Amino acid sequence: MTVTESAKVNNADKTTQQDEQMVIATDKKEIDANSTTTETTGKSPATENVAAKTNAELGPSTTTATATTHQNDMQIKTGEVYLIKRADGNVYPAQIIQSRPGEPATGNSASTPAEYYVHYVGLNRRLDEWVSRDRITDATDAETPSEAANSADSADGNGGKTIKQLSKEQIANLENPLPMENSDRKLTRNQKRRHDEINHVQKTYAEMDPTTAALEKEHEAITKVKYIDKLRIGRFEIDTWYFSPYPEEYGKVGTLYVCEYCLKYMRFQKTYRYHASECTQRQPPGNEIYRKGTISIFEIDGKEHKLYCQILCLMAKLFLDHKTLYYDVEPFYFYVLCEIDKRGAHIVGYFSKEKESPENNVACILILPPYQRKGYGKLLIAFSYELSRREGVVGSPEKPLSDLGRLSYRSYWAYTLLEFMKECRTTTQSIKELSELSGITQEDIIYTLQSMKMVKYWKGQHVICVTPKTVMEHLQLPQFKKPKLTVDPAYLRWVPPKRNPTGNAKFKKVA
């Protein structure tokens, strides 16, 4: 980051701090009811993705923090694995990553207990959370998943203990559970991939190439602990998923307040309420390039609106694991999706796209949790392909995709390819022809058709093996139903930027 960029970011932080120091007049008008109504959103499944090198290096802490329990003399040790009771009532094995002391009662505020940051063994890091001492429990106190039950049965059965610490062997078994009840049955690669995707099983370091494994370890060490538990934006209070590198004084607050229009972030509710009553911005900066009904998409140049895009990336990191783009936003365009009403444009999600890499039509994509499972993710995916179509190139998202991103893209690719195959008058089209018609790369087509068993390798090349009846049968399945939201090209007001010829594959225009 250049000196100029750093100064801008620092100035923005100073402005925020000055706002927080202001004395709020008692007669200040309240923000409208829509902005103050809180809807709590749980940790539902979601979207995106870019794996890149991290820009700092921090080794994992080797210091063992201990805390005496309120119930007995046992100590909870950092780095050890215990059974933790989750919100669903089940107990899961989890590693204690860090602890933080409780706060004593002051004035009108009640005391808060000590908490422990835990990572559930074998599950995605977005489920990591801070838990109180009473959630570190014996498996007999709650209904236990099969993996936790097996480990609990084999643990030392001391009925007087409320904590069960797992052995190294048990931890290894939990990190690599057998997905099939019949251990004699071997999984095919496709079955294992599907099992891992559905259950959000992360790859082990042994399954990665050495470079990826090294980067993954470094990334995990830097982003190991998530301090911001909740994000308050507009009428939503959202549970966060991952660490985000906000400035120190903002990065360790329990709840971070963000203006849904300008994305300015604040530590205190009173500052947020005052800002909401004074902020005049009602939509993202940049150009509105798509509007149909209540759906709008804005194109924002990272070079022209650097501060907004930087803050957008910081907020997105709360819900994206592998994302290192925070300050170097100039080489990217950002496409922000909003819902429009009489109060303004409410941010739903966005995707970014590198300016000089047209073959990669998406660098990063996110739908905020309150808007997930409503069709917005596939809408943005379809929009990225419509932009590529206007540019006359075949595009694909940057790889690797996250687990949720991979599921969303494969669902979009499957439906799109089935629709094109249904409309074709012949069933002998090649993968190359299907790529030119759909705008999906040949590699992505092969990956998708293999998952549906519609392609075979014959005489040194992949060949589509499908009949019209098979296509129609697939389109009748619930997983291949028409998306809830679609892009209408007639409402897109956008001219692609001029580029130097790159020799990319071209679209074949369909009459």
| 486 Cβ neighbours under 8 A, 6+ residues apart | 379, 382
CB 267 within 8 A of CB 20: yes
Q: Which two tokens stand for residue 119?
A: 């990572």
- Residues 493 and 355: their CA atoms lie apart, in Å, by 18
DSSP 295-353: EEEEEEETTTSHHHHHHHHHHHHTT-SS---SS--TTEEEEEEEEEETTEEEEEEEEEE
Q: Which two tokens stand for residue 160?
A: 């007087």
Preceding peptide of 497 cis, ω within 30°: no
Helix axes 403-423, 442-451, angle to 10 degrees: 90
Beta-carbon count within 10 A of 191 CB:
13
Q: Which residue has the tokens 């109060």?
A: 343
- Residues 387 and 494: their CA atoms lie apart, in Å, by 8
Q: Which residue has the tokens 């709008």?
A: 296
Nearest Cα residue to 440 out of 390, 395, 489: 395
Q: Which residue has the tokens 């929009």?
A: 383
Q: Beta partners for 255?
A: 230
- Residues 378 and 487: their CA atoms lie apart, in Å, by 10
Beta-carbon count within 10 A of 239 CB:
17
Which one is catalytic: 398, 423, 433, 443?
398
Active-site annotation holds for 443:
no
Catalytic residue numbers? 398
